[in-house]
Amino acid sequence: MLKPKLDLCKSEWLELVFDDRNKEYGAYELRKHYDRTLLQALGFTSVIFISLFLGFSYFMTRQPAVVEHPVIVHLTAIAPPATKKPIDPPKVNTPPPAQHRTVAFPPPVVAPDQSAKNPPTLEEDKKSTIGQVNQDGTDGGNIDDYKSSTGGGAVVTEDKTIYSTGTIEIMPQFPGGEVAWQKFLQKHLHYPPQAIDAGIGGKVFISFVVETDGHLSDIALVRGVGYGLDDEAIRVLNIAPKWTPGIQNGRKVRVRYTMPFNFQAPTDNN
């Protein structure tokens, strides 16, 4: 026979669970009065919540209303300060400057001079030099050569001094500048085979003089490496075109130049 469906919240289910068990332990009492305890807790919580809500509403209604009163500021136009017209200083009557005594200069009078002589003609000046007195001599020859030899005119002599690069005003340079010089070296400078075979490289220092007409002279080795590198650097300088000469005091001068040639030994990438 099937038992009727039991209600877990009723006491017959509780009696069935705690049958033959210790009911004095405490769990029996808790389960027995669970419904009443739950309703009491819900009621107590509801009362507290409603009380707090009503108290807060009453507190908010008792707060005085804040009324904002706008502040009205009346701006009064202020007239700019009156400007006073500057007072002109009193005029002082200064006496006119005193007149100095003057004397009229009479116009010059041209009178014949018995000692006056006519100057030499242009043809006579070409055949003679200027002196204190007239003196007879032989005609002919180059009068400019005579003036130069006797100090009668300025003789411009060529400056043969060889200047160093540290004392020159305008340095000599290859036509086209440093870029053109590098292109010239790349085209004409060759690495000697004996230096390639020996794997030799380094810097070769060559000294030379840039003349007033731009050509290179007095090409000499200052410090070399050997293996044909020194001769190759000198060879390239001998075939170089004319440089732009150096300038000192507005004139072309001779300048000694020392140039390094950096030979880097080629590496075998294979």
Check: CB of residue 229 under 8 Å from CB of residue 149. no
Residue 13 is predicted with a pLDDT of 63
> In the 3-class helix/strand/coil scheme, how is the chain assigned residue by residue?
CCCCCCCCCCHHHHHHHCCCCCCCCCHHHHHHCHHHHHHHHHHHHHHHHHHHHHHHHHHHHCCCCCCCCCCCCCCCCCCCCCCCCCCCCCCCCCCCCCCCCCCCCCCCCCCCCCCCCCCCCHHHHHHCCCCCCCCCCCCCCCHHHHHHHHCCCCCCCCCCCEEECCCCCECCECCCHHHHHHHHHHHHCCCCHHHHHHCCCEEEEEEEEECCCCCEEEEEEEECCCCCHHHHHHHHHHCCCCCECEEECCEEEEEEEEEEEEECCCCCCC
At residue 4, does pLDDT exceed 90? no
**How far apart are alpha carbons 69 and 71 in whole angstroms?**
6
Is 204 exposed, middle or buried (CB count within 10 Å of its CB: 0-12, 13-18, 19+)? buried
Instruction: Taking residues 118-146, report their average pLDDT.
Output: 59
157/178 Cα distance (integer angstroms): 32
The model's pLDDT over 154-184, given as tens digits with 9 standing for 90+, comes to 445 667 888 988 888 999 999 999 999 999 9
Mean pLDDT of the chain: 75
Q: What is the CATH number of domain 162-263?
A: 3.30.2420
pTM equals: 0.42
Choose among 183, 191, 173: nearest CA to 228: 191
The pLDDT tens digits for 189-244 are: 999 999 888 888 899 999 999 999 999 999 999 999 888 999 999 999 999 999 99
Q: Taking the domains of the chain in order of start, what are their residue ranges?
A: 9-51, 162-263
User: Quick one: average pLDDT of 99-125?
Assistant: 57
Question: With the CA atoms of 31, 36, 41 and 47 taken in that order, what torsion angle do they form, in degrees rounded to the nearest 10?
Answer: 180
Alpha-carbon gap, residue 99 to 97, rounded angstroms: 6
